[in-house]
Amino acid sequence: MSRRNLKGGAGSARSTEVNTITMQVDLRVRDDVALGEMELFGEVLATVAASDGPLSKSELDEALGLRR
């Protein structure tokens, strides 16, 4: 965290940083591979959250949509 964020000023430093980020990112670009990986990770997290303990290999495979 930078010192300017610790001073309690909600002024221009933060808004400048945010504005710079939006100028550097083209929101029209879509990364389907990354989105797919995030979806799989979310499925695994949801399965882990619903589990009483560590997942077995078969439970993990099921969460990832793999079949033997």
Residue type, 34: A
Distance between CA atoms of residues 59 and 18, nearest Å: 41
Q: One-letter amino acid identity for 45? A: L
Q: Which two tokens stand for residue 11?
A: 């002024």
Domain interval for residue 37: 3-64
Number of domains observed in the structure of the chain? 1
Tokens of 30: 């879509």
pLDDT at 30: 81
Top-confidence residue, 20 or 43: 43
Per-residue model confidence as pLDDT tens digits over 4-38: 555 555 555 556 666 666 667 677 778 889 889 99
